Amino acid sequence: QVQLVESGGGLVQAGGSLRLSCAASGRTFSSYSMGWFRQAPGEQREFVAAITWRSSSTNYADSVQGRFTISRDNAKNTLYLQMNSLKPEDTAVYSCAAAKWYSGYDPSRYDYWGQGTQVTVSS
């Protein structure tokens, strides 16, 4: 199994930045593709960004393209999401996820999930 723990969330003003981290333990982290998802109250879980196991490919939701950057450090078993130019509509619980055989937007294809970290952006 893989255990995932997010950190780095908090309260920021619109236009500010946050860096989220996702620490992985258990099985070999470098063998998994990783993704970030978010969920606002009363809304469906939404894809944010994904990265392949060797960081050869990344993709982003249109709503965060150009503002967010997903990256990973396999030596540290850690996934990151750098969030810049934050907007109030970015407010949500952000969760990281790991997939053995998939990289993309569909949350049902991911095998392991963290508990999430709250990001709140004030106007």
Q: How far apart are CA 10 and CA 106, in angstroms?
A: 26
Handedness of CA 69, 72, 76, 78 (dihedral sign): positive
Backbone angles phi, psi at 74, to 5 degrees: -65, -30
Q: Average pLDDT, stretch 88-96?
A: 98
CB 94 within 8 A of CB 20: yes
Amino acid at residue number 54: R
Q: What is the pLDDT of residues 4-58, one digit of tens each?
A: 999 999 999 999 999 999 999 877 777 889 999 999 999 999 999 999 987 779 9
Structure confidence at residue 80 (pLDDT): 97
